[in-house]
Structure 1
Amino acid sequence: MLILKPNCECCDVDLPPESQNARVCSFECTFCNDCADMKFHGVCPNCGGGFVPRPIRPTKHLEKHPASAVRFNKGHAECASYASSITR
């Protein structure tokens, strides 16, 4: 079952379970459409696979099978300009 990561691993934009802006590879690396297309040109920087739109989990199943609350961020060179601006 997909864990439905809550954010883009590059720009950290929120990607709630109902988001149509989320892309995943076969290893569930998760990116927003902009990062997947513009920064990584459709190729996952973690595994080299392609991206597909992340499926939407029906709301009635989210209570029993909730999305992950753990945020993921990776240190990709393409994300460096964003990472240096994070002030958390």
Structure 2
Amino acid sequence: MTLQLRPDCERCGRDLPPESAEARICTFECTFCADCVEGPLAGVCPNCGGNFERRPIRPAGKLQKYPASTERRGPG
């Protein structure tokens, strides 16, 4: 099982491509940008109450076999 690498911030809708160093995830893979996590969310996931970690970057050579999710969850 691999991380979904969701494509956007659930709060503001900012694009978070697989290589983004700005993506943060909680233990349930809720995905937010660093600005939202460090600002309004104050480091606490609004969905589950957990903390966030920097999302790992999948090596480019593995993206073809294990592609990132295209399902957007942000507002809009």
TM-score, normalised to structure 1, is 0.82
Which consecutive segments of 4 or more residues in structure 1 shift more than 6 A? none
1:71 equivalent in structure 2: 72
| 1:42 lines up with 2:60 in the alignment | no
Cα deviation for residue 60 of structure 1 reads: 0.2
Cα deviation for residue 33 of structure 1 reads: 0.1
Greater share of helix residues, 1 or 2? 1
Q: Percent identity?
A: 57
Structure 2 residue runs of 5 or longer lacking an equivalent are none
Counterpart residue identity of residue 71, structure 1: R
Counterpart residue identity of residue 17, structure 2: P
- Which residues of 2 match residues 1-88 of structure 1 at below 5 A? 1-73=2-74
Post-superposition CA distance 1:7-26 (Å, at most 9, x none): 00011000000000000000
How many residue pairs end up in the alignment? 75
What is the Cα-based RMSD across aligned positions, in Å? 0.9
